[in-house]
A and B are shown apart, each in its own frame.
Chain A
Amino acid sequence: MVLFVPEFSLNPTEMSEIAEKVKSIIVDKLGVEPSEVTPEASFTNDLGADSLDTVELIMEFEKEFNVSIPDDQAENIGTVGQAIAYLEEHAK
């Protein structure tokens, strides 16, 4: 008997592909542990980002998800959850 193994898990409790990518970018750029990257975590208050780190994160999101995030909207992306929500809505 041949078992069909699906390529992607369909378990709805797992994070979306976008959320996984966002998390891995944050882990890479801010040098933090994956366990720290919770939806509520603030880049500056919880994850040690300074103003330049935050600009770099936004640029990485733009590159990875092929979007352009205007400055006035970038100012409202201060937590992991806000980034994921914005990108799930705007990513192409």
Chain B
Amino acid sequence: MALRRVVVTGLGAITPLGKTVAEYWDGLSRGVSGAAPITRFDASKFKTRFACEVKGYNPDDYFERKEGRKMDLFTQFAIIASDQAIADAGLAEGVDKDRVGVIWGSGIGGLRTFQEECIAFGRGDGTPRFNPFFIPKMIADSSSGNISIKHGFRGPNFVTTSACASSSDSIIAAFNYIRLNMADVVVTGGSEAAITEAGVGGFNAIKAMSERNDAPELASRPYDKERDGFVLGEGAGALILEEYEHAKARGAKIYAELLGGGLSSDAYHITAPDPDGNGVVLVMQNALRDAGIKPSDVDYINTHGTSTPLGDGAEVKAIQKVFGEDAYKLNISSTKSMTGHLLGGAGAIEALASILAIQHNLVPPTINHFTDDPELDSRLNFTFNQAQEREVNIAISNTFGFGGHNTSVVFGKVRD
């Protein structure tokens, strides 16, 4: 059976740089930081007191109060981004909803809901008074469930969880279901809302997050010598993936083609990356092979690049192993320097960054570069500090998750 071609026909985003795709791209192309002091809770006793929050977010702007109350913030973000993408793709009419799936990604799920319900129980006398909406709000798949309920999409429906690779895995799962003719359209992407006491305290305990409290907007600085950890972000990205002929037949706008994907595991450590980058080499090789392209075909790599001392170096080494001399012709950038790290939402918003780079022929920058890291090859083009114009035909988005999960997604300009 020949595999079917898959294209991107709709986008949606709610991010620390803005609450629409246009605002998100505007922030990315101008090199804006989304970091600021935490407002979602009193972080005064925490080692890290800043994050990349979605600014000016009020659920009442999007939901009736009764409706919003039954969704954790990560599901609210999922609904908002997917609504945008569904409208962008024009899916409301003329599609067979039995053939439309929803495959979402979330690394954690309803962390605030979980935290609040457990705190309430702990403060009581031991009598369980858990809210009936606790479980349905908290479970990660409430995101894909709510999207399908809202729009009546009865195709494949589930959530992928692989920490910070979650929504690259959801994109690849969606890709495969369409390729294999098990759905014609899939609403995919991912969301996270982990800026809570448990989220920040937990990541601080791993010593994974930047503690540059005196200058939040300068904290996420992938590939800079003085990088000291990632900056937590929140939000969602959504993509409509669609079988190519199906998209053409209904005259859909096509942003890009999803050419292929790769998956691998480090099989090394639950939080630390393999310093030799073996799993990351493998994932990019798998992705190139699946897409049927050579390293020299790639113009841009949107890296995982979280701004941690270990992870950034391992990924760069792996890129050099896979691309060899061609690595010097690539544009490389980490848009996490601007958005922070959306964990389970990262793959989705970075897929968007890659697709928009292809659409606009503009590579968004790695901001906050001050000091070269002597461990990294300075001949590589990290797109430091300013976006660069360039014909982008093919872009790869890399994401890696705690647990050793590696995922690469390859997008390209659509060709007949």
Residues in chain A within 8 A of chain B (CB atoms): 29-31, 52, 55-56, 59, 62-63
Q: Does B133 count as interface, using CB distance less than 8 angstroms?
A: yes
From B64, B65, B131, residue with most partner A Cβ within 10 Å: B131
B295 at the interface (CB under 8 A from A): no
Residues in B neighbouring A62, C-beta threshold 8 A = 129
* B136/A52 in contact, CB under 8 A: yes
Residues of chain A with a CB closer than 8 A to B67's CB: 31
Q: Is the CB of A55 within 8 A of B64?
A: no
Q: Report A-chain residues with C-beta under 8 Å of the C-beta of B129.
A: 59, 62-63
Find chain B residues with CB under 8 A from A59 CB: 129, 131-132
Closest beta carbon of chain B to A79's beta carbon, Å: 19
State in angstroms the CA–CA spacing of A30 and B69 once bound together: 10
Known contacts A29-B66, A59-B129, A59-B131; can you find 9 more A-B pairs with CB under 8 A? Answer: A31-B64, A31-B65, A31-B66, A31-B67, A52-B133, A52-B136, A55-B132, A56-B131, A59-B132
Instruction: Tell me which residues from 132 to 146 in chain B have a Cβ below 8 Å from any Cβ of chain A.
Output: 132-133, 136
Q: Can you list 18 contacts pairing A with B, beta carbon distance less than 8 Å?
A: A29-B66, A30-B66, A31-B64, A31-B65, A31-B66, A31-B67, A52-B132, A52-B133, A52-B136, A55-B132, A56-B131, A56-B132, A56-B133, A59-B129, A59-B131, A59-B132, A62-B129, A63-B129
- The chain A residue with its CB closest to the CB of B65 is A31
Chain B residues close to A by CB (< 8 Å):
64-67, 129, 131-133, 136
Q: Give the complex CA separation of A30 and B65 in angstroms.
A: 9
Q: What residues of chain A lie closer than 8 Å to B132, measured between beta carbons?
A: 52, 55-56, 59
Give the docked Cα–Cα distance between A31 and B132 (Å): 17
Q: Which residue of B lies closest to A54 (CB)?
A: B132
Instruction: For the complex of A and B, list the 8 residue pairs with the smallest distance between their C-beta atoms, beginning with the closest.
Output: A31-B66, A55-B132, A52-B132, A56-B132, A31-B65, A52-B133, A31-B64, A56-B131
Nearest A residue to B64, CB-CB: A31
Contacts of B133 in A (CB 8 A): 52, 56
| Chain B residue at smallest Cβ distance from A49 | B66
Q: How far is the CB of B135 from chain A (nearest CB, A)?
A: 10
Q: How many Å from the CB of B320 to the closest CB on chain A?
A: 53
Nearest A residue to B67 via CB reads: A31
Q: State in angstroms the CA–CA spacing of A52 and B70 once bound together.
A: 10
Among B65, B66, B133, the most chain A Cβ lie within 10 Å of the Cβ of B66
Which residue among B65, B132, B133, B136 has the maximum number of chain A CB atoms within 10 Å of its CB? B132
**Interfacial chain A residues near B131, Cβ < 8 Å:** 56, 59
Within the assembled complex, what's the spacing in Å between the Cα atoms of A15 and B70?
30
Neighbouring A residues of B64 by C-beta, 8 Å: 31
With a cutoff of 8 Å between Cβ atoms, the chain B residues found around residue A55 in the complex are 132
In the assembled complex, the Cα of A14 lies from the Cα of B67 at a distance in Å of 32
A63–B130 alpha-carbon span in the complex (Å): 12
A50 to B66, CA, bound (A): 12
Q: How far is the CA of A62 from the CA of B133 in the complex (A)?
A: 17
Closest residue of chain B to A30 (Cβ to Cβ) is: B66
A31→B129 CA distance, assembly (Å): 22
A59 to B64 CA separation, bound complex (whole angstroms)? 22
Contacts of B65 in A (CB 8 A): 31
User: A55–B70 Cα gap in the complex (Å)?
Assistant: 13
Which B residues are in CB contact (< 8 Å) with A52?
A: 132-133, 136
The closest CB in chain B to the CB of A58 belongs to: B132
Give min CB distance, A45 to chain B, whole Å.
Answer: 17
Tell me the smallest distance from the CB of B86 to a CB of chain A, in Å.
24
